[in-house]
Structure formats: structure tokens, C-alpha cells
A and B are shown apart, each in its own frame.
Chain A
Amino acid sequence: MINGIRRIGSRGIDTIWRGGAMARFFWLVLLNSGMSFRRLHLTVREIYFAGVMSLVIIMVSGLFVGMVLGLQGFETLQNYGAEETMGVLVALSLVRELGPVVTALLFASRAGSAITAEIGLMKATEQLKAMDMMAIDPIARVVAPRFWAGVISMPILAALFSAMGIFGGYIVAVAVVGIDPGVFWANMQSAVDFRYDVWNGIIKSIAFGIAVSIIATFEGFDADPTAEGVARATTRTVVTSALTVLAINLILTAFMIRGL
């Protein structure tokens, strides 16, 4: 029993330590970011592997989520005779919440785990140490481009997710339910405010991008240099990213919600 409490204590201290190490790592990445923009091809390559390769999963998921939102909303909206506000429901849900959050979760699972595995493997095969010995800062050469690629890709992917979702909702509304397209768009445009909804969604996706990228790169950099260590680091990336994204989402939404 005492041992159990001891374990909880040591896990807690470990988590706080990791949080502090991640903060220092974040600061180091920011300091060493010059190379990512001076030698832009490094970052561009990472944007390809993190962003472009995630395009398919993000856009298809967005389409499906939008269509499901349309279908699910239809039944409840019908009770109040408000089917024509389906566009409003789909657009607001996606742009404010689902776009940034689901994209961040998918991005963490796909690109985040790939980044962690790549950096972890470099650590396990001692490539990072070799770079250190050649006076090349591994953080500047390996970590920072991947970080900035994640931060740049996330808002773009979130916007694409939301756009595909709205398109999916449009398909459900017009083709399946039979709402007039003009009414669909008119209601949506009058309910979605750029500054309050779209811009807040963009801010959220940038915050999530920073969080997921720094967690992915840190876990890779800090992984145990064994095969098992890399596997554990990849799992930790996905789990920690998911929890952090949802926590940040709660905090940001609490600040952004109008009328409180």
C-alpha cells in the first residue's frame, strides 16, 4: 500500500520533471530556429512529410465528419422545424471545435508519431551524437525544422478539414435532405462570424500545432536509445499530445466563449 503511494509520488515527480525538461527543450528549439528559415529546404522537406502526407487522411476524415454532423443534426433540428439551420450547425461545430481538435488528434497520431520515431531512431543509431561531434547542433539541424513544419502545417490542415466538412454537410443537406442550397449558404454566412469563429479556430489550431510538434520532437529526442525505447516514446507522443490538445482546447474555449 505504501509502495503504491510511493509509486504515485514518483510518477508525479517524473511527469513534472518531464514537463520542465520539455519547456527547456522548447526554449532551445526557439533559440536554434534560425537555420530552419535560412536553409528553408530543410523545413520544406519536413512540411512535405508531416503536412502533405497527412492530406489524404485529414481531407477524407473531414468529409466524413461533416456528413455525419449533417445527418445527426438533421434528426434533432427537425423536431424544432429548424432543418434549414443545418449549415449553421455543421459550420460552427467544425470551424470552432472539431476542425482544430480532430485535426490535431489525427496529426499527432500520424505525423507526430512519425516524427518521434524518426528522431528516436536517429538517437538510437547514434546519428545525433555523430552530429554533435561534427559541431552540428542536432536541435538546429534535426529538431527545429520538424517543429516549424508542424506549426505551419497544422492550421492549414485544420482549415482543410473544416472546408471538407462543410462540403460534406452541404452534400448531405442538399442531396440527401433536400434543403435549398441558397438558404443553406445564406443561413451559414449570417451565423458564422469571421473574427469570433474562424479566427478563433485558427488561433486554436496554431496552439495545437505548437503543442503537438514540441511533444513529438521532445519525446523523440528524449527516447531511450533502444528499439523498445522508441516504441514507448511513440506511444507517449500520441497519448500526451491527445491529452494536452484537449486540455488546451478547454482552456482556450473557456477564454473565447462569448457572454461569460
Chain B
Amino acid sequence: MDRKTIDLWVGIFLMLGFGALLFLALKVGNLGSERTGDVYTVEARFENIGGLKLKAPVKSAGVLVGRVTDIRLDADKFQAVATLSLDKRFGFPKDTGASILTSGLLGEVYIGLEAGGDDKKLAQGDRITITQSAVVLERLIGQFMFNKAAEGPDKK
């Protein structure tokens, strides 16, 4: 086995390996699609964030426009404060509404933005004022049972 053949095979080996790594990074992972371009952050307060997690997607009309980058509790007002990093390419009116939704029945929790009609756009550090908290399943069931019990005697 002379040196030239060894060098050739090692070169092929390294190129194959690098190609496999690139394949894993771009085709299998999400390195290519997530543009970590310029972002601006806005704040949104919720009564209950439900199952919202860090790095959860922020979608408008179902299209990904940003990520949730921070979640903390405001200890004075006992509200959840979520920091949203939105892509600079998309501007949202100041009266945009943020709701916590679930994709599918048991899917991941995300924040959906519904654009309002204001002329002024949200800027860095602004706060989204119109928010809708997550639906907590137990409260929903409790409410349902309460309603059922309330209309029970009337029906009779």
C-alpha cells in the first residue's frame, strides 16, 4: 500500500464524512431554514401561559415569524411575561393580539399573532396589550359541568 493510494482513500474518507455531517446539519436538522437574522423583541403578558415553553414558535396566519425567548413571572402583578423575538422583516401593528394556541389536539403550544388595524408598528421593547391566555383543560371541564348543573333544574 503506497502513500499515494493511502492519501487518496483518506481524502475520500474525509470528504464522505464532511458530506455526511453537512447532510445531517442541513437536510436532517433545521440549520438552513431557521434564519437567525435581525430580530426585535416585544413583550406580552398573560394570566396563564399553559404549556408554553422557551423557543416555542410565534406564528401569524400559521407562518413562523419568531420565537419565544424568555418567560418569567412578574412577582408584583402575578402575571406571566413572555418575551417574543420577531423577525425584523415582519412589522406588526401596535394593536396586534397575541393568543396562546395549541397546534392540533395534543400538539406543541405556540403563540399566534393576529394583526390589528393600527398604523403605528410595534417597535423594539414594545408591549402587546391585547392578549389571550392559554386554555386550561381543567377549568374548561369545570366550567362545562357548572353550566350543565345550572341548566339542569331549569330543564325539568
Contacts and interface: CB of A to CB of B under 8 A. Distances in A.
Given A156-B13, A156-B14, A193 B6 contact: no
Contacts of A197: 29
Contact of B30 (A41, A48, A95, A189): A189
B123 interface: no
Interface stretch (B16-24, B81-89, B147-155): B16-24
A156 B27 contact: no
B16 A160 contact: yes
Contacts of B28: 91, 95, 166, 188-189, 192, 198
A175 to B, nearest CB: 19
A192 B28 CA distance: 7
Interface string B67-91: 0000000000000000000000000
Contacts of B30: 189-190, 192-194
Interface in B5-19: 6-7, 9-10, 12-14, 16-18
Contacts of B31: 194, 198
A162 B6 contact: no
Main secondary structure of the interface of A (DSSP, over half): helix
A157 interface: yes
Interface in A132-180: 153, 155-157, 159-160, 162-163, 166
A44 B10 contact: yes
A95 B24 contact: yes
Given A189-B29, A192-B30, A194-B31, A159 B24 contact: yes
Q: What's the dominant secondary structure at chain B's contact region?
A: helix
Contacts of B27: 185, 189
A48 B24 contact: no
Interface residues of A, number: 29
A151 to B, nearest CB: 13
A174 B31 CA distance: 24
Contacts of B9: 48, 52
Most buried by A among B3, B10, B13, B28: B28
A52 B29 contact: no
B29 A194 contact: yes
A192 B29 contact: yes
Interface in A120-139: none
A52 B29 CA distance: 26
Interface in B25-68: 25, 27-31, 33
Contacts of A153: 13
Nearest to B6: A48
B33 A51 contact: no
Nearest to A149: B10
A47 interface: yes
A198 B31 CA distance: 10
Contacts of B1: 48
A202 interface: yes
A97 B47 CA distance: 39
Interface of B: 1, 3, 6-7, 9-10, 12-14, 16-18, 20-21, 23-25, 27-31, 33
Given A162-B24, A198-B24, 19 more contacts: A48-B1, A48-B6, A48-B10, A48-B13, A95-B28, A155-B21, A159-B20, A160-B16, A162-B20, A163-B23, A163-B24, A189-B29, A189-B33, A190-B30, A193-B30, A194-B29, A198-B28, A198-B29, A198-B31
26 contacts: A41-B3, A44-B10, A48-B10, A48-B13, A52-B12, A52-B13, A55-B13, A95-B28, A156-B13, A156-B17, A156-B18, A156-B20, A156-B21, A159-B20, A160-B20, A163-B20, A166-B24, A188-B28, A189-B29, A189-B30, A192-B29, A194-B25, A194-B29, A194-B30, A198-B25, A198-B28
The 8 A-B pairs with the shortest beta carbon distances in the complex, nearest first, are A156-B17, A194-B29, A159-B20, A163-B20, A194-B31, A48-B6, A159-B21, A52-B13
